[in-house]
A and B are shown apart, each in its own frame.
Chain A
Amino acid sequence: MYAQVVKSEGSKTRDEMTPEELAFQDRIDRGEKIEPKEWMPEGYRKTLIRQIGQHAHSEIVGQLPEGNWITRAPTLERKAILLAKVQDEAGHGLYLYSAAETLGVSRDELMELLHAGKMKYSSIFNYPTLTWADMGAVGWLVDGAAIMNQVPLQRTSYGPYSRAMIRICKEESFHQRQGYAIMMKMAQGTPAQKRMAQDALNRLWYPSLMMFGPSDKDSVHSAQSMAWKIKMNTNDELRQKFVDQTVPQAEYLGLTVPDPDLKWNEEKGGYDFSEPDWSEFYDVLAGNGPCNKDRLGARVKAWEDGAWFRDALVVHAEKAAARRAVAAE
Chain B
Amino acid sequence: MSKEWPLWEVFIRGQHGLNHRHVGSLHAPDAEMAILNARDVYTRRNEGVSIWVVPSAQITASSPSEKGPLFEPSNSKVYRHPTFFDIPDEVGHM
Contacts and interface: CB of A to CB of B under 8 A. Distances in A.
Interface of A: 35, 37-38, 84, 87-88, 91, 94-95, 98, 101, 106-108, 112, 163-164, 167, 171, 307, 310-311, 313-314, 316-317, 320-321
B64 A35 contact: yes
Interface of B: 1-5, 7, 24-27, 29-30, 33, 40-42, 44-45, 61, 63-64
A195 B26 CA distance: 44
B27 A107 contact: yes
Contacts of B26: 94, 98
Given A91-B44, A314-B3, 15 more contacts: A35-B64, A87-B40, A91-B40, A91-B41, A98-B7, A163-B24, A307-B2, A310-B29, A311-B2, A313-B5, A313-B29, A314-B2, A314-B5, A314-B29, A316-B29
Nearest to A97: B27
Contacts of A320: 30
A95 B41 CA distance: 8
Contacts of B33: 313, 317
Contacts of A38: 64
Nearest to B7: A101
For the residues of A in contact with B, the DSSP-based class is: helix
A88 B63 CA distance: 34
A98 B5 contact: no
14 contacts: A35-B64, A37-B64, A38-B64, A87-B40, A87-B44, A91-B42, A95-B24, A101-B25, A163-B24, A164-B24, A171-B44, A314-B5, A314-B29, A317-B29
A108 B4 contact: yes
A307 B5 CA distance: 12
Contact of A167 (B1, B3, B5, B24): B24
B30 A317 contact: yes
A88 B44 contact: yes
B63 to A, nearest CB: 7
A37 B29 contact: no
B74 to A, nearest CB: 20
Which of A87, A101, A163, A314 has the most chain B CB atoms inside 10 A of its CB? A314
Contacts of B64: 35, 37-38
Contacts of A316: 29-30
B25 to A, nearest CB: 5
Nearest to A108: B4
Contact of A37 (B24, B25, B41, B61): B61
The 4 closest A-B pairs by CB, nearest first: A313-B29, A317-B30, A317-B29, A38-B64
Nearest to A37: B64
A321 B31 CA distance: 11
Contacts of B24: 95, 98, 163-164, 167
A84 B27 CA distance: 21
B3 A311 contact: yes
Nearest to A38: B64
Contacts of B63: 37
Contacts of B44: 84, 87-88, 91, 171
A89 to B, nearest CB: 11
A317 B5 CA distance: 10
A59 to B, nearest CB: 12
A34 to B, nearest CB: 10
B90 to A, nearest CB: 43
Contacts of B5: 310, 313-314
A320 B29 CA distance: 11
A171 B42 CA distance: 11
Contacts of A84: 44
A112 B1 contact: yes
B84 to A, nearest CB: 28
Contact of B45 (A164, A171, A310, A314): A171
